[in-house]
């Protein structure tokens, strides 16, 4: 009777040990998967922040250029570099393009006179 209980207990003990190893391995795989997902999410977030910073830098530069272009105290001939940079940055100001054409027309009129 004692040997039957011993054998049964041994079988249950070995089975429990094997199951605990299987569960531990499975938990390790799940943990690794979650860690990888977290790292990917963190990388996507960092990329998004980088893109946001670049866009903000571009926007701030365009605003600076626009301020210089529309500053009435700066002569038009000194505004030309600001015009060119604004347009090269693909600024969407049609008024800025109009002012550039106007400045070029004034130059041609001054050269003719």
**pLDDT of the residue at 1:** 60
For the chain, the domain total comes to 1
User: CA nearest 87: which of 107, 66, 71, 105?
Assistant: 66
pTM score of the predicted model: 0.54
Taking 90 as the threshold, does the pLDDT of residue 56 lie above it?
A: yes
User: CA nearest 69: which of 59, 84, 58?
Assistant: 84
User: CA nearest 93: which of 71, 65, 57?
Assistant: 65
**pLDDT of the residue at 10:** 84
Higher-confidence position of 51 and 103:
51
The domain of 79 spans 2-112
pLDDT band, very low/low/confident/very high, at 57 (cuts 50, 70, 90): very high
Q: What torsion do the CA atoms of 91, 95, 101, 102 make, to the nearest 10 degrees?
A: -150
């Amino acid at each position: 009777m004692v040997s039957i209980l011993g054998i049964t207990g041994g079988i249950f003990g070995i089975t429990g040990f094997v199951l605990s190893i299987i569960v531990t391995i499975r938990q390790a795989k799940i943990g690794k998967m979650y860690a990888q997902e977290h790292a990917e999410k963190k990388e996507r977030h960092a990329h998004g922040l980088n893109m946001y910073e670049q866009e903000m830098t571009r926007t701030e530069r365009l605003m600076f250029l626009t301020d210089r272009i529309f500053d009435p105290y700066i002569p038009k001939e000194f505004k030309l570099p600001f015009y060119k940079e604004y347009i090269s940055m693909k600024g969407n100001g049609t008024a800025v393009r109009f002012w550039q054409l106007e400045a070029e027309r004034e130059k041609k009129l001054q050269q003719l006179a």
